[in-house]
C-alpha cells in the first residue's frame, strides 16, 4: 500500500493517499463565499493564491460541535481543480501505516462541487 495521511475531523477517522496531500497548513482569515455550497467554508490566502476551503466536518458527515471555523488546520489537497484546503481536527499518522479503522477517501470526490463555486 502507498503512504497514507491518517487524520480525524468531527469524529470521523479518515485517510488520503500522501500523494494527494501537498502539505498541512495553518488557516487564518477565512472569507465566506456568498451562495456557496454548504460544504465550502470559504476561501483563504496561501502563498499569494486564493484557495477554496472545504469544511471537513460538513463534507464527511461528521458531528460538528460549533460553527465552521475561521482559523485552524487544513490539508492542502492536490486536485484536478488546483489546490483546495480541507479542514481537519488532527493528523493521526503519516507513512506506510495501515488503514486500521480509518476510511480511505477519494480526493476528487471530496472536492466534487467546488468547480464554479469560486471564481478563478
Looking at residue 96, its pLDDT comes to 78
Looking at residue 83, its pLDDT comes to 95
- The upper half-sphere exposure of residue 58, i.e. CA atoms within 13 Å in the direction of its Cβ, equals 16
In a domain, 116, yes or no: no
Average pLDDT, the chain: 85
Whether 37 and 113 have beta carbons less than 8 Å apart is answered as yes
In a domain, 119, yes or no: no
In a domain, 120, yes or no: no
The 10s digit of each residue's pLDDT in 79-112 is 998 999 999 999 988 887 677 788 899 998 888 8
In a domain, 118, yes or no: no
Number of domains the chain is built from = 1
Looking at residue 94, its pLDDT comes to 87
Helices (H), the chain: 56-60, 107-111
In a domain, 92, yes or no: yes
Looking at residue 1, its pLDDT comes to 61
What one-character DSSP code corresponds to residue 94? E
In a domain, 22, yes or no: yes
Residue range(s) defining the domain that contains residue 107: 4-111
Q: Domain holding 105: CATH number?
A: 2.40.50.180
Note the maximum CA span of the chain. 40
Looking at residue 89, its pLDDT comes to 93
Instruction: For the chain, list residues with pLDDT below 50.
Output: 120
Residue linked to cell 471564481: 119
Whether 81 and 115 have beta carbons less than 8 Å apart is answered as yes
Looking at residue 55, its pLDDT comes to 92
Amino acid at each position: 500500500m502507498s503512504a497514507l495521511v491518517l487524520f480525524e475531523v468531527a469524529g470521523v477517522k479518515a485517510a488520503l493517499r500522501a500523494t494527494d496531500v501537498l502539505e498541512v497548513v495553518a488557516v487564518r482569515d477565512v472569507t465566506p463565499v456568498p451562495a456557496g455550497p454548504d460544504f465550502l467554508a470559504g476561501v483563504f490566502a496561501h502563498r499569494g493564491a486564493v484557495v477554496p476551503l472545504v469544511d471537513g466536518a460538513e463534507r464527511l458527515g461528521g458531528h460538528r460541535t460549533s460553527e465552521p471555523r475561521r482559523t485552524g488546520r487544513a490539508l492542502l489537497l492536490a486536485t484536478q481543480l488546483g489546490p483546495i484546503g480541507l479542514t481537519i481536527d488532527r493528523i493521526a499518522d503519516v507513512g506506510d501505516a495501515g488503514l486500521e479503522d480509518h476510511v480511505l477517501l477519494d480526493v476528487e470526490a471530496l472536492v466534487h462541487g467546488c468547480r464554479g463555486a469560486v471564481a478563478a
